[in-house]
């Protein structure tokens, strides 16, 4: 089972949001476009994570698409260790008009609102609608197969 599950194509994305304690972020690896009209993105987030709490609290998130050369940045978001004024784990961010942190170094960002949460398993499914796009640079995104990391099984 593990061998087969690890063959599933897996992108790596950083999702940011705002909790009662301030900005937070996490790496997710399940994300897909599920509708063009309206533009819907479906993703899975671990039910016991701070980004899950941020999504439930504010219903707004930012999905960052790291480039292939940003593996160190993605690795730093596996666990939030330090949040300073305008820095999450050493990476600069600014707040959008909805008070969601946007990472300055991210080449592509989707801003979304949560439409529905499907609470199944240890990662719940979030159906979100795209409200804004930011294209700073059109680059190839980092995928699991570009790293020595493994997920699934």
Predicted TM-score (pTM) of this structure: 0.91
Q: What was the pLDDT predicted at 150?
A: 66
Q: What was the pLDDT predicted at 46?
A: 92
pLDDT in tens, the chain (153 residues): 878 877 777 889 999 999 888 899 999 999 999 999 999 999 999 999 999 999 988 899 999 999 999 999 999 999 888 888 899 999 999 999 999 999 999 999 999 999 999 999 999 999 999 999 999 999 999 887 777 776 654
Q: What was the pLDDT predicted at 153?
A: 46
Residue 103 backbone dihedrals phi, psi, to 5 degrees: -70, 125
Q: What was the pLDDT predicted at 11?
A: 86
- Note the helical H segments in 36-145: 50-58, 71-76
Q: What was the pLDDT predicted at 92?
A: 96
Dihedral Cα 143, 10, 25, 75, nearest 10 deg: -50
């Amino acid at each position: 089972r593990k061998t087969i599950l690890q063959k599933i194509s897996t992108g790596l994305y950083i999702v940011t949001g705002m909790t009662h304690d301030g900005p937070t972020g996490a790496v997710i690896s399940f994300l897909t476009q599920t509708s063009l009209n309206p533009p819907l993105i479906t993703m899975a987030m671990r039910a016991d994570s701070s980004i899950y709490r941020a999504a439930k609290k504010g219903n707004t998130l930012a999905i960052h698409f790291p480039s292939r050369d940003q593996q160190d940045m993605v690795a730093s978001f596996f666990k939030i260790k330090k949040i300073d004024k305008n820095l999450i784990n050493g990476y600069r961010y600014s707040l959008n008009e909805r008070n969601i942190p946007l990472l300055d170094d991210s080449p592509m960002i989707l801003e979304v609102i949560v439409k529905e949460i499907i609470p199944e398993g240890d990662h719940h499914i979030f159906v979100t609608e795209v409200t804004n796009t930011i294209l700073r640079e059109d680059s190839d995104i980092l995928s699991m197969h570009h790293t020595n990391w493994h997920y699934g099984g």
